[in-house]
Structure 1
Amino acid sequence: MTPVDTVRELRINGRRVRVSVRAGEGRPLVLCNGIGANLDLLQPFVDELDPAIPVIRFDVPGIGGSELPRLPYTFATMACLLGTVLDDIGCREVDVLGISWGGGLAQQFAVQNPRRCRRLVLVATATGMVMVPARPRVLSKMITPRRYRDPAYAAAIAAQLYGGRLRDEPELATELLIRHARMAPGRGYALQLIGGAGWTSLPFLPLIRQPTLILAGTDDPIIPLVNARIMHRLLPHSTLHVYPDGHLGLITRADDLAPRVAAFLRPSAVSTGG
């Protein structure tokens, strides 16, 4: 039987936070999404993930179904909010997966909660402000959430922004970013940009002792592959897997990457290869 996701609204610090919970067995996997994206965007990955693994997803304040916060936030305060969400759900120990912007949040949560975060998965992400950056023409397209609102624009920039499979199938960008995601409000998107401003994980990466799986694409214009190799060198218990795709590989290669993630979270499971 296919597991059912239960979507609920929690009141955290007086504001509504949209949360999705998929029931399962054992330790839940918390998913932290990229900038401007709500919890629905990762549905293809969740569908391919071992159905026995519980999954928790949430919309960052100001994105999707979560209310705008009263004040701007940082990764540190957002990690505290995530901890409160998990308290309300009744989850103590979790595994955490972060993609892109959400990878920064995942790193911050792991270092703030070493006993609560058991394993860490970092996908298409880097160390924040101190990293090998994307080209300026790529970064310029990240300033606004237009790609979540304008189907034609999403398809037009897909190859240059996301690379990988979307170079040959730019129309997929419309399906992934528009059809499976609610419109990203401008203020919520801006708050995510501000939340990551000035943040870097470089000083504390060696302090993250959790086993970590790093997933990186060979053709990721937003996060050049060298960033994953740097993180792999600095994280003391990390494994690096490089896949032949782009920034959205977790979705476009879900049939390959979801089993790898499941095998990492449950080492006794049958591995899909190296």
Structure 2
Amino acid sequence: MHQLRQITVLGHSIRVAVRQGTGGGPPLLLCNGIGASLDLLEPFVDQLDPELTVIRFDVPGVGGSPDPRMPYRFAMLAHGVGKLMTQLGHDQYDVLGISWGGGLAQQLALQHPRRVRRAVLVSTATGSLMVPGSPKVLRKMITPQRYRDPHYMRSVASELYGGVMRHSPHEVLHVMHEHSRIGSKRGYLLQLLAGAGWSSLPALPLIRQPTLVLAGNDDPIIPLVNARLMHRLLPNAHLHVFDDGHLGLVTSAEELAPVIHEFLRD
């Protein structure tokens, strides 16, 4: 059962979902992609073993979290997430970040090395210093229009997300619109600004936690070479390449959830 609540962190109201697990291990904190609410990852959470406690949240300006009063950076957001986990009663936790949320997950691992036990980085890269997708793809990604216009989303799904969307672009409506809440345009812009100029590349050797790098072999937004680079530079990393695209964590949840759970159990 998913418990939804609003928690005030550093003066901001944050929408949080907690699925209490049957086991006693550390919880898994999920950090979502840009513009996406916590609802988007519910199909993935449903595939995870019920023994695992899973925590999701909406960053300020997304989903059910109101706009922040001022711009923020990854370091500031990671500080707030640490406060959130403390309020929820967790001194130690694992973190999973997808796409933009993968940058936040890396920042959390760097900033809170004693609290973040393990990290899972999905369809993500090292920020401003990375091998980018094509400019044509990135132009479509930088706008929130795909979250607001289902017809536009369907028209760009194949080119933007790759993987199963190549032959079933209509599935994007089920993935992105039935399981998501739309945030504000300002919230989307502030998420973009949070990562502007940020890069984990020089700091990757400092992330000592066991890390699972998951990447699709057909990801137009984050080319696979980025995952291989991260795998090479992280001291304690395992790379798993799956046959899907940028949204594989959701569209291939049945395949990837057991891989992730096995990594967290080791």
Smaller-chain TM-score bracket:
over 0.9
CA-CA distance at 1:13 after TM superposition: 2.0
- For residue 16 of structure 2, what is the aligned residue in structure 1? 19
* Contact 1:149–1:184 (CA under 8 A) maintained in structure 2: no
Counterpart of 1:183, as a letter, is I
CA-CA distance at 1:184 after TM superposition: 2.7
* Contact 1:132–1:227 (CA under 8 A) maintained in structure 2: yes
Q: Deviations over 1:158-195 (max 9, x none)?
A: 00000000111101111111111111310000000000
- For residue 272 of structure 1, what is the aligned residue in structure 2? none
Counterpart of 2:69, as a letter, is R
Q: How does 1:95-114 map to 2 (within 5 A)?
A: 95-114=94-113
Deviates more, 1:167-176 or 1:212-221: 167-176
Deviates more, 1:232-241 or 1:182-191: 182-191
CA-CA distance at 1:149 after TM superposition: 1.0
- For residue 61 of structure 1, what is the aligned residue in structure 2? 60
Structure 2-normalised TM-score? 0.98
Counterpart of 1:162, as a letter, is Y
* Contact 1:144–1:186 (CA under 8 A) maintained in structure 2: no
* Contact 2:67–2:184 (CA under 8 A) maintained in structure 1: no
Counterpart of 1:199, as a letter, is W
Counterpart-to-counterpart distance in 1, 2:2 and 2:148: 26
Question: Does the alignment pair 1:75 with 2:74?
Answer: yes
Counterpart of 1:96, as a letter, is V
Gaps in structure 1 of 5+ consecutive residues: 268-274
Q: How does 1:120-269 map to 2 (within 5 A)?
A: 120-267=119-266
Q: Deviations over 1:63-114 (max 9, x none)?
A: 0000111110111001001001101111110000000000000000000000
* Contact 2:99–2:123 (CA under 8 A) maintained in structure 1: yes
Q: Deviations over 1:207-249 (max 9, x none)?
A: 0000000000000000000000000000010000000100000
Q: Deviations over 1:4-31 (max 9, x none)?
A: 1101001112221000111112210000
Give the SS at the match of 1:203. Answer: helix
> RMSD in angstroms over aligned alpha carbons?
0.6
CA-CA distance at 1:143 after TM superposition: 1.8
- For residue 6 of structure 2, what is the aligned residue in structure 1? 9
Counterpart-to-counterpart distance in 1, 2:49 and 2:10: 33
Deviates more, 1:161-170 or 1:5-14: 5-14
- For residue 43 of structure 1, what is the aligned residue in structure 2? 42
Structure 1-normalised TM-score? 0.95
* Contact 2:64–2:183 (CA under 8 A) maintained in structure 1: no
